[in-house]
Amino acid sequence: MQKFTVHKGLVAPMDRENVDTDAIIPKQFLKSIRKTGFGQNLFDAWRYLDPGEPGQDPASRKPNPDFVLNQPRYAGASILLARQNFGCGSSREHAPWALDQYGFRAIIAPSYADIFFNNSFKNGLLPIVLPEAQVAELFDQTFAFPGYSLTIDLERQVVIKPDGGEFAFDVQAFRKYCLVNGLDDIGLTLRHKDKIKAFEAARLAQKPWLAHTMLDA
């Protein structure tokens, strides 16, 4: 998982409340057991005018010119600005996968669905909660100024505006530790790999028959 310490990026505004996970990554793309390739289908039903199916070449699709992520001024955005209850709906982990693989490193919104919120941290995506008034201010500035960018300092837990103003945000210490160090659940376990190997060796020394994977005929 990619580390998150300080990130400066272009902001894209998703000016809709209650954006659910089926909108983030539609159900037909959940068939894959691989954890890659979902970014091209992020917000698929909104990004394209034609129906999307797994395995399609994005170059053959018909982009919706009115959708925010298809507008040239937001090309390359890595911070998504959203409204309340972002990520509601079903508990598909593919939603943060798709956002991350598209290129987003962080989301800023007044509130999130709980499961999406938790899944985001586990996949290296930082979901920041700010009061509605502060989010509204960021929307106004994003719409008013093309190329509007923000800096997110996770160590200090602040969102820094272009004028130097800051909005503080809260994050649990353990989640912050995992993001700063780039540790997902597997990474956390691998910190103890030497102890795990030592335990396995001691266990096999005490019970050598466990080393056999097949019973003698």
The mean predicted confidence, pLDDT, of the chain is 90
pLDDT exceeding 90 applies to what percent of the chain? 72
Radius of gyration of the CA atoms of the chain, in A: 21
pLDDT over 50 (residue 214): no
Per DSSP, the three-state class of 174 is helix
Question: Rounded mean pLDDT of 90-99?
Answer: 93
42 and 107 in contact (C-beta within 8 Å)?
Answer: no
| Per-residue model confidence as pLDDT tens digits over 97-124 | 999 999 999 999 999 999 999 999 999 9
**pLDDT confidence band for 23 (50 / 70 / 90):** very high
Cα-based angle 44, 120, 32 (whole degrees, multiple of 5): 50
- The token duo for 83 is 């409204």
Read off the pLDDT of residues 168-198 as tens digits, 9 standing for 90 and up: 999 999 999 999 999 876 666 656 567 767 6
Tell me how far apart the alpha carbons of residues 3 and 123 are, in angstroms, rounded to a whole number: 11
Tokens of 160: 């820094």
CB neighbour list of residue 71: distance below 8 Å, 6 or more residues apart? 65
Give φ, ψ of 15 to 5 degrees.
-85, 60
How far is residue 152's CA from residue 161's CA, in Å, rounded to a whole number? Answer: 9
pLDDT for the residue numbered 188:
62
d(C-alpha 47, C-alpha 41), whole Å = 8
DSSP-derived 3-state class of residue 134: helix
Q: Which residue has the tokens 């890595």?
A: 78
pLDDT of residue 125: 97
Identify the CATH assignment for 6-183 out of 3.30.300.130, 3.20.19.10, 3.30.70.100, 1.10.1060.10.
3.20.19.10
In eight-state DSSP terms, residue 43 is: T
